[in-house]
Amino acid sequence: MINYTENIRKISGDLLKSGKVDVVIGYKKGTLPGINEPFLARTPEDAQKLVWDSQCRLNLANYLTNRKENVGIVAKGCDSRNIATHIIEHRVTREQVTVIGVPCTGMTDKNKLRELAGGEITALTEKDGIITVTSRHGEKTVEKQDLLQSNCANCLHRNPVINDIPCADPVPEINTARNDAEIKAIEAMSPADKWAFFEDLLSTCTRCYACKNACPLCYCPTCFVDESRPQWVGKGDDPIDVRTYHTLRAFHCAGRCTDCGACEAACPMNIKVRLLTGKMEKSCFERYGWEAGLNTEVRPALDTFTLHDPEEFIK
Amino acid sequence: MENPYIPYPVSIDDIQIATEDKSLKTFRFVFQNKSDEEKFAYKAGQFAELSIPGLGEIPIGIASSPTEKGFVTFTVFKTGKVTSHLHTMKVGDTMGIRGPLGNWYPWDTLMGKNILIIGGGFAFTTLRSSIKMMLDPSNRSVFGNIDVVYGARTPGMLLYKDELFEWGKREDINMHLTVDTEAPNWDYHVGFTPAITEKVAPKASDDTYAIVCGPPIMIKFTLPVLEKLGYKHDHIIMSLENRMKCGIGMCGRCNIGTELVCKDGPIFTLSDINKTPKEY
Amino acid sequence: MKILHIDKASWDKGVLKSGETYRLTGPVKDKDTHAFKNLNDGELPDMGYVETKMSPKALLFPRSEVMLTYSTNPHDGNCNIMKEASKAYPPRAVIGIRPFDAKAIQLVKLNFDTEEYKDPYWLKAYEACTFVGLAINQPSITDFSTSCNTGPFDETGLDVLVVDTGHGFLAKILSTKGQAWADAAGFNIEAGADAASKITAMKKEAEANIVSKISVDKIAGKTVLELFDAGHWEDTAFGCINCGTCTFACPTCWCFDIQDETYGTQGVRIKNWDSCMTGLFTMHGSGHNPREYPYQRTRQRFMHKLKYFMDKYQEGIMCVGCGRCIKQCPANIDIREICNTMNQ
């Protein structure tokens, strides 16, 4: 990771110095152990603040939306796929973006870190795939592998798909096929069990909207939850409105989601919202062989039509 | 404990289309409980929340004058959910009014002073309330000269036209009406409000105050004119608008810096406004 | 000031006994965190809890609260006339509230209990409460409460301060309300003469363990416009995703929205938590938005907390240093850093 950081700083500094980009979107070191802060470097000096480690959970493509200048952006595999989606959806142009590609070995799950520490984390270090967390109860050292977010453990595209200036050599992919075990378990439930499952899943949601605001796909100028004429969704704490929000959002992301996990990482209540988007992506893959954001040419699944599209679900 | 969220029940007593494009209507309300009318004692410049069950509330300046008894009137532009519905309502319908809210033009300060009123478009409602109040026989002698510059795009877009022309005939108020471009049978000024202001405004003095109320573009070009004429910032009085919900300074959305537009305002002097962020 | 000694077994019994007189509310385990909830019969507050994700502000200011009711049925005599929703406010004991959260309630009171207007929902709920606070022996690394006119043993907003000494509880009675609750619980054994000094010593130790500090001295000296127009805001707010996490978790954020919801012909006017982080919060009917850009909303939040509030009320800043926003922010926006930037 030290190399990654050094290389990102060097590449970004050079890009800013040469004037090829006006700004670089990356991360700077966080104020708490276990989290970093998205950061906009405007000068070569700023670029020296950039960092990379396994605590860069948000998707930086989210910060690229509608930017007008030439932008360098630090991107792991999933971020790069969202950059590709942004280009397809005309949020940015290919020409204005320079991707500083990060071959990604996964992000740590903030909850696994907390559980490992057994209390408040007072320090965290990461070296050669080993993570050490410190708390009042002492130090714990674990292989990063065992702390990965589930989307990272199941990741199929760890290397950036757009990679103008790689910050390191590609890493080997660890998976060859989707792991849909969690989704399948829900599919196998009876309708009543499913209902109860989702009721419980969303029961602690405060509708702070961290999930949609962390999501690079959620860039609508006015989200449907904010529409007032007509008002689609109530704004109180009626569980029906909460479920409406989550379900509709998932549908809106269908065929566009790269399973970056930013929504879950952002959720302060630790709601597994990826179970909803995951179902959409599973369907898109099964029906259309579609995975979002693998290149900048092909329109997303729900944006195209062929005569061979399966339609057995139309009854 | 008085519940400030409960609107007074009112009946719509009269509805008049206020402009030629029908985008504004003037609603006259009567209180269903006589005692509520007393509780609703207001001063010119204040506003109220018009409250329609099931749709919500909308803050609107009070267009009637405190000197007019037995009813309150509001002139409402059809724009959002609540106002669009209000425009479909009929005489006799029941709804709610919550208020009066906010502060008022500083009538204590304005006593004995000359007053220049500058209004544009449909932001003339609380100005109408103010003029009507000042022209009341019991009040007129309290104030010095009154000049009114009021402009709209066309003659048909001027609010309260009949009254304006009546005031135009009076000796105790100087009316300077204007429209943006020449119009048939229009014997008054032609030109934008700031330009007319520059021509007709009384000389600045310690005893002359300007009250300015209009669309942002009018305000933007009128303030430099007043400055050029020598009006001091604490002699320029404005009424601000911001998105509001509670109207009583609690819900937190209408602030400009430390000031809550709904409760500390909506009336501020330009020198007050100069100290706050321009978040309106 | 009377200090009672309560051993842990008596504590449980007494708290349950007070439940005969008071509705009890306290921290209980809720999924992977703790939350303030009304306790069921026989349920005890978890006095070993570390923190709650959401502050207890919702006890007085629920996320969604019915204020008024109405009927739109023309056959009802009161068609389209708003009525206050009927609500009971029986005495409630809030057990285990943290001192900084109780202090926050005092700050929020400045908003809901004013000379001109009183929010009856907040105020009646407040008046019904007896706050039995639990001192913090081990402050979190994000706790900067001692920089915010409060602290781990602050008594300001409390009726009773309970200190867990490890062997039992010391309960310092701070008001007649507090005494009434102790009476209802049957707590009446006065602690030994060394209790006050024991509490003082524990307080000192806890305060000494606070590693986070902020300072607002220079902010106080600057004008609103100097701070507002400072060039850093776009960069300061860059990472902020403008979600409502901080505002919802915050014990001092009080902004709300008013919405009508009609079911058939019967409806309610409700007060919902709102957040200055959202664009809709300030959007005019015309479509004009005075805080059009996300950074302007972030700026509003910190200007409100660290400057506007201070200038308006002369009661310090609108923050009690609980650290919830720092811990829960998905983007690591840290109020301490922003305060430092503003206080340059």
Residues in chain A with CB shorter than 8 Å from the CB of B81 are 228-229, 231
Q: Are residues B40 and B134 in the same domain?
A: no
Q: Are B242 and C282 within 8 A, CB to CB? A: yes
Instruction: Tell me which residue of A269, A262, A179, A252 sits closest to A218, measured CA to CA.
Output: A252
Q: Are residues B49 and B22 in the same domain?
A: yes
pLDDT at B129: 98
pLDDT at A2: 61
Mean pLDDT of the region C26-47: 95
Average pLDDT, chain C: 97
What does DSSP assign to residue A95? T
- What are B69's two structure tokens? 């008894």
Q: Are residues B44 and B114 in the same domain?
A: no
Which chains have 3+ CB pairs within 8 A of A? Answer: B, C
Q: CA-nearest residue of chain A to B81?
A: A229
Contacts of B31-36 with C-beta under 8 Å, sequence gap 24+, read B31/B97, B32/B8, B32/B94, B32/C81, B33/B8, B33/B9, B36/B8, B36/B9
Instruction: Tell me which residue of A224, A253, A225, A251 sits closest to A238, measured CA to CA.
Output: A225
Q: CA-nearest residue of chain B to A230?
A: B81
C138 and A CB contact within 8 Å: yes
CA distances from C263 to A232, B52, C80 (A): 14, 15, 14
Q: Which of B84, B100, B116 is the last residue before a domain boundary?
A: B100
C169 and B CB contact within 8 Å: no
Q: Which of B100, B130, B157 is the last residue before a domain boundary?
A: B100
In a domain, B78, yes or no: yes
Mean pLDDT of the region C94-115: 98
CB environment B34-62: b (16+ within 10 A), e (fewer): eeebeebebbbbbbbbbbbbbbbbbbbbb
Q: Are C72 and B56 within 8 A, CB to CB? A: no
- Kindly report the nearest CA distance between residue B207 and chain A, in angstroms: 47
B210 pLDDT above the threshold of 80? yes
- Kindly report the nearest CA distance between residue B15 and chain A, in angstroms: 25
What does DSSP assign to residue C318? S
Give the one of C256, C260, C286 whose C-beta lies nearest to B56's C-beta: C260
Cis ω before A103 (30° cut-off from 0): no
Q: Are residues B63 and B144 in the same domain?
A: no
* A5/A3 Cα distance (integer angstroms): 5
In a domain, B271, yes or no: no
C122 pLDDT above the threshold of 80? yes
Average pLDDT, chain B: 96
Q: Are C281 and B57 within 8 A, CB to CB? A: no
* B169/C67 Cα distance (integer angstroms): 50
Residues 163-202 of B with CB under 8 A from A: none
Percent of chain C at pLDDT > 70 equals 100
A1 pLDDT above the threshold of 70? no
CB environment B249-267: b (16+ within 10 A), e (fewer): bbbbbbbbbbbbbbbbbbb
* A59/C331 Cα distance (integer angstroms): 10
Q: Are residues B198 and B228 in the same domain?
A: yes
Q: Are residues B67 and B180 in the same domain?
A: no
C283 and B CB contact within 8 Å: yes
Instruction: Tell me which residue of B132, B2, B143, B141 sits closest to B69, measured CA to CA.
Output: B132
In a domain, B153, yes or no: yes
Residues in chain B with CB shorter than 8 Å from the CB of C72 are 53-54
Which chains have 3+ CB pairs within 8 A of C? Answer: A, B
3-state secondary structure of A41: strand
List residues bridging with A125 in a β-sheet: A132
B73 lies in which domain range? Answer: 8-100
Instruction: Tell me which residue of C86, C121, C258, C74 sits closest to B55, measured CA to CA.
Output: C258
pLDDT bracket for residue B1 (50, 70, 90): confident
Residues 250-279 of A with CB under 8 A from C: 262, 265-270
A315 pLDDT above the threshold of 80? no
> How many domains in chain B?
2
pLDDT at C1: 77
A176 and B CB contact within 8 Å: no
Q: Is C129 exposed, middle or buried (0-12, 13-18, 19+ CB in 10 A)?
A: buried
Mutation for testing the A interface, residue in B81, B84, B243, B245 having most A CBs under 10 Å: B81
A209 and C CB contact within 8 Å: yes
Q: Are C142 and A32 within 8 A, CB to CB? A: yes
Q: Are residues B114 and B169 in the same domain?
A: yes
Q: State how beta strands A138-143 and A130-135 pair.
A: antiparallel
- For A226-256, the pLDDT digits (tens) are 888 788 999 988 999 999 999 999 999 999 9
Residues 223-252 of A with CB under 8 A from B: 228-229, 231
- For B98-130, the pLDDT digits (tens) are 999 999 999 999 999 999 999 999 999 999 999
Give the one of C270, C278, C330 whose C-beta lies nearest to A265's C-beta: C330
- What are C174's two structure tokens? 């701070």
Residues in chain B with CB shorter than 8 Å from the CB of C256 are 245-246, 250-252
pLDDT at B140: 96
Cis ω before A230 (30° cut-off from 0): yes
- Kindly report the nearest CA distance between residue A35 and chain C, in angstroms: 7
3-state secondary structure of B133: helix
For chain A, helix, strand, coil in percent to 5 are 35, 15, 50
Ramachandran assignment for A283, one of left (phi > 0), alpha (psi -120 to 50 degrees), beta (any other): alpha
- For C297-339, the pLDDT digits (tens) are 999 999 999 999 999 999 999 999 999 999 999 999 999 999 9
**Residue C33 CB-half CA count within 13 A:** 18
C9 and A CB contact within 8 Å: no
In a domain, B279, yes or no: no
Residues 234-263 of C with CB under 8 A from B: 254-260, 262
Give me the CATH number covering residue B114.
3.40.50.80
Residues in chain A with CB shorter than 8 Å from the CB of B80 are 228-229
Residues in chain B with CB shorter than 8 Å from the CB of A234 are none
* C323/C337 Cα distance (integer angstroms): 12
Please list the alpha-helical segments (H only) found in chain A: 2-18, 44-47, 77-88, 110-117, 150-153, 181-187, 191-201, 210-214, 239-253, 262-266, 274-288
Mean pLDDT of the region B271-277: 96
Q: CA-nearest residue of chain A to B85?
A: A229
- Kindly report the nearest CA distance between residue C291 and chain B, in angstroms: 7
- For B170-184, the pLDDT digits (tens) are 999 999 999 999 999
Q: Is C319 exposed, middle or buried (0-12, 13-18, 19+ CB in 10 A)?
A: buried
Which chains have 3+ CB pairs within 8 A of B? Answer: A, C
In a domain, B244, yes or no: no
Residues in chain A with CB shorter than 8 Å from the CB of C333 are 37
pLDDT at A179: 95
Q: Phi first, then psi: give them for residue C309, nearest 5 degrees.
A: -60, -45
Q: Are B275 and C225 within 8 A, CB to CB? A: yes
- What are C150's two structure tokens? 């409060």
- What are A295's two structure tokens? 């290149």
Q: CA-nearest residue of chain C to A200?
A: C31
pLDDT bracket for residue A300 (50, 70, 90): confident
Residues in chain A with CB shorter than 8 Å from the CB of C258 are none
Residue pairs spanning B and C at CB distance below 8 A: 136
Q: Are residues B79 and B139 in the same domain?
A: no
Cis ω before B266 (30° cut-off from 0): yes
Residue ranges per structural domain of chain C: 3-53+86-208, 217-257+275-342
- For B12-68, the pLDDT digits (tens) are 999 999 999 999 999 999 999 999 999 999 999 999 999 999 999 999 999 999 999
Q: CA-nearest residue of chain B to C277?
A: B253
Q: Are residues B88 and B165 in the same domain?
A: no
C312 and B CB contact within 8 Å: yes
Give the one of B9, B245, B258 whose C-beta lies nearest to C312's C-beta: B258
pLDDT at B216: 86
- Kindly report the nearest CA distance between residue A150 and chain C, in angstroms: 18
Mean pLDDT of the region B250-262: 97
pLDDT bracket for residue A63 (50, 70, 90): very high
Average pLDDT, chain A: 95
CB environment C65-104: b (16+ within 10 A), e (fewer): bbbbbbbbeeeeeebbbbeeeeeeeebbbbbbbbbbbbbb
Whole-model pTM: value is 0.95
Contact C33, C229 (CB under 8 A): no
Mutation for testing the C interface, residue in B248, B258, B263 having most C CBs under 10 Å: B258
- For C234-282, the pLDDT digits (tens) are 999 999 999 999 999 999 999 999 999 999 999 999 999 999 999 999 9
List residues bridging with C70 in a β-sheet: C267
Q: Are C243 and A209 within 8 A, CB to CB? A: yes
- Kindly report the nearest CA distance between residue A59 and chain C, in angstroms: 10
